[in-house]
């Protein structure tokens, strides 16, 4: 029964974010007249499905870890000769439905539509939360500075009000630990308001292994302070649509920027690769978060949607970003890359993806105590 508490929320979350991603591809494909034969949630054997009036088969498949949209006459075309050979197989009406006959900008938008839809979903979810549940705007006041801590050594004091961290404005007590832990620098720049004067401090955090609110072991950065609401009052406000969208876009951008910095730090050998997780860890966290209610579940859905959109934009063949990379070469060269070159890239992409899957699965199993 406990396993179902993890699996069911995970499948629901994954179904929604994958559907939205694939619908982004589908929307632009239909907009530019490309035929779509299959819209699948999952892979493998079909469980059930329906056909629409446009000839698209909408279906759910046995393995719910992803999805795809299949275009009419879908196949890789590497040269002008191959395209001409492909066109001979279809009449004039059907040729107009082929993906390969569309201008480069339309093909690019069709591919980019998937990640774009994921970012839009996140913005919609955050906006909904800020309008109906509210967003916290409680100023963060330091209520305690631990002796011999990085904060103590740097000169932070009780009653200092934290204004910004690494040039990111702090609007809530909840944002302090988020921005400290999101920092990829050795030191954290903290600006505070003290007796109506703004002061700046560079602090080197201490990294510890602790448990998060869900009971998972995570590495955290601390500077040795405790935060309390200014005047001991929380200021949670329900926002109007315009402000909600504004802050939702800001949150989406912050998560995107932080993720990219984290990936960059791993390539530099500074990031903690043990924090990378795969489907098992995502399922575990989703199940844990779902127990806290709808708002918490929607929040994790928004973060996963951003991650899915961002990962798909990485310039790795087999991902959307890989196709966009090929289109960039096509724009510069005036023709597609040769079949041999593309196949070489696809092999590299396959190796990278399998390596990533192996690594994240290993981390997941290690997290479960199996290694």
CB-based contacts of 11-19 (< 8 A; 24+ apart in sequence):
11/64, 13/286, 13/297, 13/300, 13/301, 13/304, 14/64, 14/65, 14/304, 15/41, 15/64, 16/121, 16/301, 17/118, 17/121, 17/301, 17/304, 17/305, 17/308, 18/66, 18/67, 18/308, 19/67
Distance from C-alpha of 151 to C-alpha of 364, rounded to nearest angstrom: 34
With CA atoms as reference, report the closest residue to 41 among 24, 58, 26, 25: 58
Does residue 56 sit in helix, strand or coil? coil
Rounded-to-integer distance, Cα 1 and Cα 367, Å = 21
CA distance 74 to 132: 43
- Strand ranges for the chain from DSSP E: 36-51, 57-71, 135-136, 140-145, 161-165, 168-169, 188-194, 197-203, 206-211, 217-222, 225-229, 236-237
To the query of whether residue 22 is one of the catalytic residues in this protein, the response is yes
Tokens matching residue 294 = 């709808």
Helices (H) and strands (E) counted in the chain, each on its own, are 11, 12
| Beta carbons within 10 angstroms of residue 214's beta carbon | 13
Annotated catalytic residue within 2, 22, 189, 191: 22
Other beta carbons within 10 Å of 54: 9
Tokens for 335? 């023709």
Structure tokens at 182: 């999101």
Main-chain phi, psi angles of 75, to 5 degrees = -170, 155
Whole-number Å distance between alpha carbons of 271 and 21: 28
Angle, in degrees to the nearest 10, between helices 294-312 and 104-132:
160
Show which residues are catalytic: 22
């Amino acid at each position: 029964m406990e396993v179902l508490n993890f699996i069911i929320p995970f499948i629901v979350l994954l179904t929604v974010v994958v559907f939205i991603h694939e619908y982004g591809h589908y929307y632009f494909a239909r907009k530019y007249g490309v035929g779509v034969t299959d819209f699948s949630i999952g892979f493998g054997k079909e469980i059930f499905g329906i056909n629409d009036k446009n000839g698209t088969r909408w279906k759910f498949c046995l393995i719910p870890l992803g999805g795809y949209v299949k275009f009419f006459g879908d196949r890789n075309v590497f040269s002008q000769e191959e395209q001409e050979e492909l066109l001979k197989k279809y009449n004039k009406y059907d040729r107009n439905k082929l993906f390969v006959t569309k201008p480069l900008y339309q093909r690019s938008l069709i591919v980019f539509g998937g990640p774009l839809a994921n970012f839009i979903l996140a913005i919609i979810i955050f906006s909904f939360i800020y309008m109906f549940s509210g967003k916290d705007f409680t100023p963060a006041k330091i209520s305690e500075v631990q002796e011999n801590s990085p904060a103590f050594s740097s000169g932070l004091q009780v009653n200092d009000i934290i204004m910004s961290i690494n040039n990111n404005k702090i609007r809530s007590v909840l944002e302090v630990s988020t921005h400290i832990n999101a920092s990829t620098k050795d030191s954290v720049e903290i600006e505070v308001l003290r007796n109506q004067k703004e002061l700046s401090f560079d602090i080197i955090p201490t990294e510890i292994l602790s448990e998060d609110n869900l009971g998972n072991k995570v590495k955290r950065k601390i500077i040795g302070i405790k935060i309390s609401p200014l005047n001991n009052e929380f200021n949670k406000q329900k926002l109007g649509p315009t402000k909600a969208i504004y802050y939702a876009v800001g949150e989406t951008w912050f998560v995107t920027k932080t993720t990219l910095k984290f990936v960059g730090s791993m390539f530099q050998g500074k990031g903690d690769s043990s924090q990378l997780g795969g489907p098992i860890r995502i399922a575990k966290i989703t199940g844990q978060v779902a127990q806290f209610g709808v708002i918490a579940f929607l929040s994790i859905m928004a973060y996963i949607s951003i991650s899915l959109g961002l990962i798909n934009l990485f310039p790795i063949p087999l991902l959307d970003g890989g196709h966009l990379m090929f289109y960039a070469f096509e724009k510069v060269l005036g023709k597609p890359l040769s079949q041999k070159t593309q196949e070489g890239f696809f092999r590299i992409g396959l190796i990278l993806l399998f390596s990533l899957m192996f690594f994240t699965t290993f981390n997941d199993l290690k997290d479960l105590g199996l290694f």
